[in-house]
Amino acid sequence: MITIYALCGGYLELPYESMIRDASPSRWTVPIECFLIDHPRGRLLFDTGLHCDTLTNMLGRYGPERATRFGVHSKAGDDVVSQLARVGLEPADVPFVANSHWHFDHCGGNEFFPQATIIVQQREMDAARSPELLAQGKYRPSPKDYDHPLRYHAVDGDHDVFGDGSVVLIPTYGHTPGHQSLLVRRGRDERLLFTADACYTRENMDRDILPTVVWDEREMSHALGRLRDLRDKQGAMTVYGHDPAQWRTLRQAPAPMA
């Protein structure tokens, strides 16, 4: 039996119109979501959230531009290591970590998992290590979040984490060069889909509207369509990447979400 825990990685305040591109400018606060998948063969952590230093020193960690664009509304304990402790675990109890992508709110806690295998799409890794591509300025990861002596495992496309088809990383490129989402199959019929930033909110999927933070529009639209099919045609319970309304309805750790 697979058990899933929703871990609160804190909250970010940001421009609403960056998530819903036709919205009037305003600020809103969104959750940073991490998920622990407890499988009989081991555990997978999907995303590591913000680095704990961002709670107290966003400016020092990321500089003035991001400190102005983003407000951090997290409290002590809203970091992934503290959240794991809520379910009685330490980083060493988690053999697999996956990053949906390498934006700072999804891989900030990577450095705390030196024993884990960290699964990232090859395309994300190649892009983050290409000076020419980074110089274009459309994809802006922060090396201080992921560039540590960690055991990265690059994958290309679908990746079946435990080899039984129940926990599968699926490529959803477009938000960033190598974004991936997570599909969990439980029992015969139950599917849970964790979109991460391939779909920020339910509104993005329902209205087929992209954010402004996009690496490749065509690829991101295609990925959004694939995710919508999983939700609407295959009945996958869908957890969006940064949806405040949905987050309030999810049971958070230490209780299992599902």
* Least distance to Zn ion, CB of residue 247, Å: 13
Question: Which residue number, 166 or 195, has a Cβ lying nearer to Zn ion?
Answer: 195
Using the minimum distance from each CB to Zn ion, give the nearer residue, 105 or 145: 105
145 vs 186 by CB, closer to Zn ion: 145
The site map against Zn ion for 94-113 (x = CB under 5 A) is -----------x--------
Give the type of residue at 178: G
Min dist. Cβ of residue 197 to Zn ion (A): 4
Name which of 167 and 199 has its Cβ closer to Zn ion: 199
Smallest distance from Zn ion to CB 244, Å: 13
d(CA 28, CA 14): 6
Minimum Å gap between C-beta 171 and Zn ion is 17
In the complex, least distance from residue 104 CB atom to Zn ion, rounded to whole angstroms? 8
Whether cis (ω within 30° of 0) applies to the bond prior to 254 is yes
In sequence order, the β-bridge partners of residue 237 are 192
Token pair 């039984």: residue: 164
Q: Give bridge partners of residue 194 from the DSSP assignment.
A: 182, 239
Can you read off the two tokens belonging to residue 233?
A: 């045609």
- Rounded CA-CA distance 212/209 in Å is 10
CA-based diameter of the chain, in Å?
A: 50
Q: Which of 31, 161, 19, 171 is nearest to 106 (CA)?
A: 31
Which residue from 79, 124, 197, 243 is in contact with Zn ion, where contact means CB under 5 A? Answer: 197
The reply to whether 47 sits near Zn ion by the rule CB under 5 A is: no
| Nearer to Zn ion (CB atom), residue 124 or residue 197 | 197
Neighbours of 157 (CB within 10 A): 12
The size of the interface with Zn ion (CB under 5 A), counted in residues, is 2
Q: Which residues bind Zn ion (CB under 5 A)?
A: 105, 197
